[in-house]
Structure 1
């Protein structure tokens, strides 16, 4: 009862929201890169918000199902196929035993997500099922998926609560430019006035040096007042670090736990998906906002998720009618 991996794709791992509370002991948080797509995938299946999914980058996996389950695909468009036929995204899909789900190269975006109604059977390590490849812990044997791997399911869940609308509009990852909102700091005081102006008014290009640890950007030089070095401190998801070469590096899910370079800004959490879904040569511009504005954006997104939930799980228009239908069905089968 689970899935057999026929092809592992470029970088397919088991992830959830991450392993929090252990950075002080040297363990990276890990977790999904695009939290929004992750949450929508689980929402579509009425899963717990932090249920583990498969995350894949640039080229997706090919999977064969050994039992029935329901799945949801979100994130970038990896042109999914079920038994060689195009499969929908941002909706619940019933998978039969023997079905083959195949992902191709990313047509839009760069990260894809696959959630399961039957829940992946991988161990919880320090409160998370996320894969930490550098430490070889979590997920499936602490590594990315490869051909001939087999992942089991924890439960038999082949139905969902009654709802009328199963589909959500996919997020648009087709643009090759993105405006990213940031909160300045915590070490923006180590940069010259001109350096900060350069950071906020220039266009930066996503380089090929882009993985789960971080994203190097190419663009105008950002000047420090004296040095880029600081006493090492903790690093947040989306922190923008600027070493002595003056080019920004955005630190992501598998970031190091501490760093000794000044951080000019931190990306607002709701805009991190915009960055992690970029591809090489895509353009980035940074826009300054306040802490309170970033918090309000997060509150607004939480309200949006609530609206999505209402859209998906609509109760019967007439509760009595639903009960009558259930009674009639019961008579037919007894």
Structure 2
């Protein structure tokens, strides 16, 4: 029998994501992929998956899942309360669930996106080389959109290995500050010096028009030098477009492939994820860095992601021990001594 996870209740926007669908933007196909690649990689590391395996990314509120078959090993990367059959368990720690057990992922205490991964991965057919969901085009994932109650997610492993569990201390991950770093361009010459000064000197907040495609921001108006239309060109991850309102839009994972507003800057890769964790009303500032500085920051961030398996530790408590090891211990000797 194929092992499944049955979705009892789905978060408001839970989608299957991996690193994304690369090489097809020229055909109008968006990249998609995890909005926070560090959490994506951390969830996979906790269950022993390759870093690029598909996970489920949830927004604000997580999912409720019941194991059908199994056992199944899962892990949640993100600061959310977790419950197995109403008993509290820890996030950032792998969990081995038996047939019929239910995991409930509550609301995130910090940030707006979390990820959960299952050992061995989900048995989904890639579309153009990726299982990432792009909901606007109904591409990838389980059925081209967000999870919903009643979905059954097929798993590649019939049964998780009976072994010790792993945990990751999130304080070891790079901190996310209130400054979002950018490289100016490619059309920074389409803005006045006053416009660029406003962009770099002011404080912006995330508006309520914010999703995986992009964040519309509210803050100082950015002045154009010669209108706000350009010949449409490619949209990279983190591009900061400025339409006629003078209010910037930062394009994220589900961004369109081309656009006709001038781009004053691009958010550097690690800070795109930091921005994607901000909720409407959160405030921050932009700071310009050079291309060389951005490359150095990216290299450091990549080294952290590649080194995630080395940051794992054995989970404490009984999650560390299987039944064979427990039977090898003298579990009552201390109690007898205490009665003497």
| 1:292-332 alpha-carbon deviations (Å, 9 max, x no partner) | 11111111122223443223279xxxxxxxxxxx9xx9xxx
Structure 2 distance, partners of 1:103, 1:312, is 22
Counterpart position of 2:283: 283
What is the CA deviation profile of residues 32-91 of structure 1, one whole-angstrom value per residue up to 9, with x for unaligned ones? 10011101111222211110000111122111111212111113x232222112221222
1:143 pairs with 2:145? yes
Correspondence for 2:59 among 51, 57, 60? 57
2:98 aligned residue = 96
Cα distance in 2 between the residues matched to 1:15 and 1:222: 34
User: In the alignment, what sits opposite 2:120?
Assistant: 118
Which residue of 153, 156, 178 maps to 2:155? 153
Equivalence map 1:144-293=2 (5 Å): 144-156=146-158, 158-159=160-161, 166-170=166-170, 178-293=178-293
- Describe the shift of the 1:195–1:49 C-alpha distance in structure 2 as closer, same or farther (beyond 3 A): same
Q: Give distance in 1, aligned partners of 2:25 and 2:176.
A: 34
What residue is the counterpart of 1:68 in the other structure? 71
Q: Deviations over 1:156-177 (max 9, x none)?
A: 35138x88x822222599x997
CA distance in 1, matches of 2:311, 2:24: 37
Equivalents in 1 of 2:215, 2:172: separation in Å? Answer: 21
Structure 1 residue 106: deviation in Å? 2.3
Distance change >3 Å, CA 257–CA 279, structure 1 → 2: same
Q: How far apart, CA to CA, are the structure 1 residues paired with 2:308 and 2:11?
A: 30
CA distance in 2 between partners of 1:273 and 1:172 (Å): 17
- Compared with structure 1, are the counterparts of its residues 220 and 172 closer, same or farther at alpha carbon in structure 2 (3 Å cutoff)? farther
RMSD between aligned alpha carbons?
2.3
Task: Provide the residue aligned with 1:312 in structure 2.
Answer: 312
Instruction: Give 5+ residue unaligned stretches, structure 1.
Output: 315-325, 330-334
Distance 2:152 2:118 in 1: 15
C-alpha distance in 1 between matches for 2:65 and 2:260: 42
The 8 Å contact of residues 118 and 156 in structure 1, kept in 2 or not, is answered as: no
Map of 1:319 onto structure 2: none
C-alpha contact (below 8 Å) 2:73/2:160 kept by paired residues = yes
Structure-1 separation of matches of 2:158 and 2:313:
21
Q: State the distance in 2 between where 1:312 and 1:105 align.
A: 24
Distance in 2 (CA, whole Å) between partners of 1:263 and 1:171 is 34
Alignment partner of 1:89: what SS?
coil
Q: Answer yes or no: is the 8 Å Cα contact 2:49–2:120 preserved in 1.
A: no
Question: Contact 1:176–1:282 at 8 Å: present in 2 too?
Answer: no
Q: Over residues 278-297 of structure 1, what are the superposed CA-to-partner deviations in whole Å (9 max), with x where a residue is unaligned? A: 11111021011111111111
Cα distance in 2 for partners of 1:170, 1:85 equals 22
Measure, in 1, the Cα distance between the counterparts of 2:119 and 2:282. 35
Alpha-carbon separation, structure 1, partners of 2:139 and 2:273: 25
Q: Distance in 1 between matches of 2:147 and 2:242?
A: 33
Runs of 4+ in 1 over 4 A off after TM superposition: none
Aligned residues: 313
> Are 2:80 and 2:91, in contact at CA under 8 Å, matched by a contact in 1?
no
